[in-house]
Structure 1
Amino acid sequence: MWKAMLYKEWIKTRWYLLAAFAVLGGFAGYALVKLHRAAALMGAGHIWEVMVTRNAVFIDQMEYLPLLVGLLLAAVQFVPEMQRKCLKLTLHLPVPALATLTAMAGCGTAALLLLFGLCILLLAAGASPVLPHELVWNILSTALPWCLAGVAAYLFGAWTILEPTWKRRLVNILMSVLLLRIYFLAPGPRAYGGFLPVLALLTLASAALSWLSVVRFMAGRQD
């Protein structure tokens, strides 16, 4: 049963995940090409000075990319469930509904963590030949809140899509926008510092919101 459920999620999302991996890799590669080109033209010392004095990280164009990737994954994974009326059938499998939802959301979350993790590794590996590890960490610490925002956007998207009434969906969207703003309040390197674990816990806690929508769906809530 579990294998069949996981396979269904993979079938729904595999092409999107491959496309998302290509886009994330492309943006990360472009940022690294800019970094290496600037180092070749102006010297590594000048790049280090710019990064220290101006808080440059060379990945600014990626700021909202994980957010978009997470939202689109939620749409790809859950919109068909609602449009084709498949969710009711899925929740009536001989498996507890909470376990079913956890498996579905867990698949998406794990896929995002893998995608973002590979992107972080690519940035670290590409920047290390040019920058000392302190400046590499500046880049990565800037990207980490964006990656958490991508996971949170996926979970908020699932919460909104699985909600059976449009009035509540609008409320969910408003609350999601306000909560996601937290991830972009401090764009500078190491700006979140010790707050990153709190941000990670907030992201983890948002996974429970989808269950509220599923409970309302199972109770037959309608517009």
Structure 2
Amino acid sequence: MNSIFGKLARRSALASAMSLAVLMSVGVAQAADAPAQRVGVRGEITALEGDALKVHTLGNEEVTVGLTKDTQVRGVTLARISDIKPGSYIGTAAMPGPDGTLTAMEVHVFPPEMAGTGDGHRPFDLAPGSSMTNGRVGELKVANGRTLTLSYKGGEKTVVVPENVPVVNLVPGDRSLLKPGVKVALFAVPEVDGRLTALGISAGENGVKPPM
């Protein structure tokens, strides 16, 4: 009788171990198939060596980010709220209010040829709970609390732009903007070996600090 129980126990343990192994292998496969997580890097360029961009971050860290032929570079220049018109295509990092109205933390204005870039509303990492909304401006009330409506595919948001919020232009750029001392905000993806590869870089022109 004991031998029978012993065999049953060993079979049960073996089955449990096999099940655990299957679950682990499935988990690893799912992790490998999952979309790569984007990493935000904000700071000042210290060097550009070939395809390696070195940045001293706002968190006082030294980070090296790889560049590829597909890495997009955009310039950031100062703008004014008056540069925004009905029909302008803009983006804004913002915090939501109780009624769903967004309070902008920054606003960036796209040139006409970049309209449609990143269209939509999604979580953002500028602050806990913040979002990024890219869309076309509808109603604009500059004289009434700087309030605007922002329409994108599948939705619409009301955004209030406080007086002290930075407004900038995003303009087409290239690697010539990536020089030591230039302030940048970029997003990168981690590779299998842990290195970061930049997807897109916003580089301040004439000392401008990208606020996004």
TM over 0.5: no
Q: Which of the pair is proportionally richer in strand?
A: 2
- Band the TM-score falls in, shorter-chain normalisation: under 0.3
TM-score by length of 1: 0.21
The structure with more radius of gyration: 2
